[in-house]
């Protein structure tokens, strides 16, 4: 829930600052999420 809110906020901000920066942030968030999910799965 919090992650979704953060992504929405970054999307709104991203429209102002430029799509390239937003895309980079989104990739970073996605990679972080995948890493955390992997760590949780491994226990």
pLDDT tens readout for residues 8-28 = 776 666 566 677 777 888 899
Beta-carbon contacts of 21 under 8 Å, excluding residues fewer than 6 positions away, are 14
Host domain of residue 1: 1-40
* Measured distance CA(12)–CA(28) in Å, rounded: 17
* Measured distance CA(2)–CA(40) in Å, rounded: 18
* Measured distance CA(25)–CA(12) in Å, rounded: 13
Tell if the pTM clears 0.85, that is, is over it.
no
Residue 31 has what pLDDT?
A: 94
* Measured distance CA(9)–CA(21) in Å, rounded: 14
7 contacts 32 by C-beta, under 8 angstroms: no
Structural domains of the chain, count:
1
């Amino acid at each position: 829930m919090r992650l979704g809110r953060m992504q929405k906020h970054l999307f709104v901000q991203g429209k102002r600052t430029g799509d390239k920066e937003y895309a980079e942030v989104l990739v970073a968030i996605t990679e972080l999420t995948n890493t955390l999910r992997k760590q949780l799965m491994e226990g």
